[in-house]
């Protein structure tokens, strides 16, 4: 079965690590393409291409300020991804707790 296009939904769009990096760099700050180019140290066409995908799935909102286009993360569209990942946090926390226990046992054995 063929994979759905990255512009189909937010989950497919964020499957690409570069798009996740753009979202991370943007955070809650509005940024221009040029700012992202500098912060990421990527060529402008690459930034624009990935922003285009994020915009198409509505993970990023765009508005004009004079001649400049500014982009902001659409937190509401990230919510389904967050809700999907949240149940796994318990697993990760438990795994780290077990690792801490094993490390404590190893430390005691060394002494």
* Residue among 105, 85, 82 at smallest CA distance from 93: 85
Q: Which domain holds residue 46?
A: 10-110
- pLDDT in tens for each of the 111 residues of the chain? 555 666 778 999 999 999 999 999 999 999 999 999 999 999 999 999 999 999 999 999 999 999 999 999 999 999 999 899 888 887 777 777 777 787 888 888 877
Q: What order of strands is seen across the sheet that includes strand 31-32?
A: 31-32, 68-73, 60-65
**CATH (domain of 48):** 1.10.10.10
d(CA 101, CA 98): 5
Residue 74 lies in a domain: yes
Instruction: Tell whether 1 is covered by a domain.
Output: no
Q: What is the pLDDT of residue 88?
A: 84
| C-alpha separations of 68 from 7, 12, 105 in Å | 24, 28, 58
pLDDT at 65: 92
């Amino acid at each position: 079965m063929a994979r759905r296009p990255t512009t189909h939904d937010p989950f497919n769009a964020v499957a690409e690590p570069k798009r996740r990096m753009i979202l991370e760099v943007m955070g809650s700050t509005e940024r221009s393409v040029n700012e992202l180019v500098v912060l990421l140290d990527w060529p402008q066409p690459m930034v624009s291409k990935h922003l285009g995908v994020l915009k198409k799935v509505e993970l990023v909102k765009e508005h004009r300020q004079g001649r400049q286009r500014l982009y902001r993360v659409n937190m509401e569209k990230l919510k389904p991804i967050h809700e999907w990942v949240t149940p796994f946090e318990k697993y990760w926390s438990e795994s780290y707790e077990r690792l801490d226990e094993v490390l404590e046992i190893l430390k005691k054995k060394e002494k």
